[in-house]
Structure 1
């Protein structure tokens, strides 16, 4: 078999695996949306079976033979060519997967499916004790995974590699220490500022059917294709891309608070537009997969915050908002609304956090994950450790576990190592948007005032979406923005925006 024939066979196998994984994604979406509670046990077995089949296909020794037949040939001389990028990522995935026993893959799928169901009820009932045994199992299994894969310095390095290849604990510690040192005094100045928004304008009566209508209209306006997607309700908002033509987003509605659903929809729409605009011809291969979780998160944060909390966006949408909720906003001026949706205030819930405090929430979770994985923190002691560290960071005492260590779904699905990608996403979003503004200048905000987001979406298509995994995240950032990732654009953005709003900095 020639190198070209071997590569063609790898493509065929990869695309078949992509279809299988999309089946698991569909069942995962159903699990979080419409599956009846009593279906959890069977769904766990279904997910375990699909995970086993996927693992078998991925670790088939024939794949190793085919990769060896292609590597070092003229097909992959250019590492940025289609074949070069695909083979590089296939090799990374194959080498990682072959180190993880199939029994561990099956058990992780089985336990995390059950854990998600238990977590949802535990959160509703503020009952950490019911979730703790499952969390103990998840932590043990993720330690087993890290040991199987192998790591340097800390087992966390093995897990974050799954989400953000090349990132290390040492780098993240420096990043979070620097951000915390910059953000804490900024937040303190803002909280102490005499000028403060009236958040009460967002805490009125907002009928859910009207919220859904307005959110769907905004999502469609910025670029979500509802012919290839849908919006549903769930306990914890997420985006699930099954493949070309089918991408689902979810949100949760609060009839007494506008922000929760609307900005959640913008956030998930940012994820969804990345999925919807990946090159369909490459589905099932690395070139049809998002670059990294951090780059993926950059798209949700860019559309939610950089665009959706900007003044030009609301110059277009606020009149429509008043038409949708005439009673709630009859006495609200545009500037008062804009100030309210950009309130900075330490709060308990990560997904409701403002731009200035959000990364402090991630720093907390990063610290606790490191301790859980190393064994320095036992799951039994998690609530107390969470509460103490939260109070140190935010100056707030956590009233209950539902608003503390139970608020996120991530640990129930085994996503240890996932949280830092949110902060990386914030940094990438700011740097990408800075590059867009340098290229288009004031014309960009003029577009937004007209409700036209095509120029921005076109730039993102060209510089982010179209590449899939052709480049690693750092290289993608450098090519798109002209510089390696830096926290400076993000910090400059925060200081400029909130300095003007609050009269500080």
Structure 2
């Protein structure tokens, strides 16, 4: 068969199962934002059926036949061409999917859909026991998945991690995380010993939710999020869902007594959304129209949330606007006091509310615990006590209940084992990217002070977004920044930014 005709059939099939996946994404978005609670049981059946249909198409033996025809042909002679990238990544996906039986794929979709609802209820009731049997079922299914997929290292965790961060291994991450921890500990200790500390009183008061929504949408639009191709809604756990070309949805949550949670949550999810909107819509349904990894995705959200959103240049423009919107709490606030307050460092129980300096400790704890859960070294029933002990040891705080402890994240109920370490990878990547963009653009601080974030967005479009899956994550970072993944730019950035805040 002609390689070109085979390639065209591959792309048609890829777009078909991607469309099925987009239907699942839409149902999942609805499940977390609009669906009444009683719809949970049937929604799990819907998602299970779609997952099975998608799996059947992606693992169809015909796909393997087509790949065999195209591989080695002139179409893929240039390894960086769209055709070569698509074929390489479709092969990678096909090989993984053909190792998974449809029955396991469907059962994972059903169980995780129900488990997420049980997680919400258990978290609300502060009752880990209610979630425990579901956690056990999810872990059992993920072990089966890891056994089916396998990993060259023999570590089942690597088989799951590879789905989120292709090419990464647990041993590699451990080395990166150990190096990061070694540099962060002295900084955290120095901050803890500082006598001149930011005063959070400037952020106390009432911040009407309707005005929080106005500010969030203004900022999102100004940094490039296209509301003609996206929307912002409310959910229990903020997320971004790139459903299809022209349909990217982000969510946040609001508290009238807390300005920061929603605002920085919006910036975070907008960063994800900008990546989704920066992918080539004409290549939707193919690897060259998809994000490369969760670590790279997270680098985009953390870059906008922290490296831009907590910086003085950004607030030089936005603080006067925030003062006008929130006159009672911020009307008489001074800029320096406000900026120091939003950059304060204090150990916290909740990962999503953690400051930028201690955030990675939250991730490293989860990384260690989920590896132990997956291997069986940590029985699920012992998770609350193991969690509490690590928080006491690493952060000096102890959760009063499971809701602010091991039930705070949706990830394990959704079966996302291997997902957590990509958050810290995202922080590492973000610091490297921002460092390089600043050196390249020259006047970035001045642009941000004027409220103009587009030069930075265009740089990210050129160096990250447009490449889709052309390179593996580590190589993409090296090509964009000139260096392989490295924790030193993150540590240097934290020292340079938090030193002045704490007068170090």
Tell me if both proteins adopt one fold, taking TM over 0.5 as the criterion.
yes
Map of 2:74 onto structure 1: 74
Q: Distance in 2 between matches of 1:498 and 1:19?
A: 45
Mapping 1:334-345, distance limit 5 Å:
334-345=335-346
Q: CA deviation at 1:184?
A: 2.0
Structure 1 residue runs of 5 or longer lacking an equivalent are: none
Partner of 1:115: 115
Distance (whole Å) between structure 1 residues aligned to residue 203 and residue 92 of structure 2: 47
Query: How far did 1:79 drift?
Result: 1.0
Equivalent residue number for residue 496 of structure 1: 496
> Partners of 1:330 and 1:114 in 2: how far apart?
46
CA drift of 1:201 comes to: 1.7
* 1:477 aligned partner: 477
Which residue of the partner structure matches residue 452 of structure 1? Answer: 452
1:235-283 deviation per Cα after TM superposition (whole angstroms, max 9, x unaligned): 0000001111000000010111111000000000000010011001110
The aligned counterpart of 1:130 is 130
Report how far residue 202 of structure 1 moved.
Answer: 1.7
In structure 2, distance between residues paired with 1:426 and 1:410: 19
Partner of 2:282: 281
Residue equivalent to 2:225: 224
Q: Does 1:19 align with 2:38?
A: no
Does 2:218 match 1:239? no
1:51-90 to 2 correspondences below 5 Å:
51-90=51-90
State the Cα distance separating 1:186 from its structure 2 match.
1.0
Secondary structure of the residue aligned to 1:250 is: strand
Aligned counterpart, 1:252? 253
Contact 2:324–2:331, Cα closer than 8 Å, also in 1: no
Moved more, 282-291 or 467-476: 467-476
Aligned mates of 2:65, 2:237 — CA distance in 1: 42
Give the TM-score, by structure 2 length.
0.99
Whether 1:167 aligns to 2:179 is: no
Whether 2:405 is the aligned partner of 1:404: answer: yes
What is the Cα deviation at residue 73 of structure 1?
1.0
Question: 2:214 aligns to what?
Answer: 213
Q: How does 1:22-33 map to 2 (within 5 A)?
A: 22-33=22-33
- Residue 206 of structure 2 contacts residue 257 of structure 2 at CA under 8 Å; is this kept in 1? yes
Q: Secondary structure at the match of 1:227?
A: coil
1:440 CA displacement:
1.6
Could you report, residue by residue, the CA deviation over 1:366-424 in whole angstroms, capped at 9, with x for unpaired residues?
00011000000011000000000111000112211100000000001000100000000
Superposed, 1:383-402 pairs within 5 Å as: 383-402=384-403
CA distance in 1, matches of 2:182, 2:383: 25
- Cα offset for 1:501? 1.4
CA distance in 2, matches of 1:498, 1:189: 10
Name 2:150's counterpart in structure 1. Answer: 150
Which residue of structure 1 lines up, in the alignment, with residue 264 of structure 2? 263
1: CA distance, partners of 2:195 / 2:248? 45
Hey, what does 1:413 align to over in structure 2? 414
2: CA distance between counterparts of 1:158 and 1:265? Answer: 32
- For 1:139 and 1:164, the matched residues in 2 are separated by 20
Distance 1:87 1:394 in 2: 46
User: SS where residue 164 of structure 2 aligns?
Assistant: coil
Q: Are 2:386 and 1:380 aligned?
A: no
TM-superposed deviation, 1:203: 2.7
Deviations 1:162-193 (A, max 9, x none): 00011001111112222222212211110210
* Deviations 1:5-32, CA, capped at 9 Å, x for gaps: 1001001111111111100000000011
RMSD: 0.8
What is the rounded CA distance, in whole Å, between the counterparts of 2:204 and 2:133 in structure 1?
Answer: 37
Contact 1:187 1:345 in 2 (8 A): no
Q: Which residue of 2 aligns with 1:141?
A: 141
Conservation of the 8 A alpha-carbon contact between 1:386 and 1:404:
yes
| 1:427 alignment partner in structure 2 | 428
The CA distance in 1 between the partners of 2:348 and 2:190, in whole Å, is 16
Secondary structure at the residue paired with 2:419? coil
2:126 and 2:403 in contact (8 A); partners too: yes
Counterpart of 2:361? 360
TM-score normalised to the size of structure 1? 0.99
Q: How many angstroms apart in 2 are the aligned matches of 1:173 and 1:483?
A: 19
1:464 aligns with 464
CA shift for structure 1 position 306: 0.5
Where 2:231 maps in the other structure, the secondary structure is: strand
Corresponding position of 2:97: 97
- In the alignment, which residue of structure 2 is the partner of 1:318? 319
SS in 1 for 2:163: coil
- Match of 2:251, SS state, is strand
Q: What is the aligned length?
A: 503
Distance (whole Å) between structure 1 residues aligned to residue 407 and residue 290 of structure 2: 30
Alpha-carbon distance in 2 for matches of 1:372, 1:74: 46
Deviant stretches of 4+, over 4 Å: none
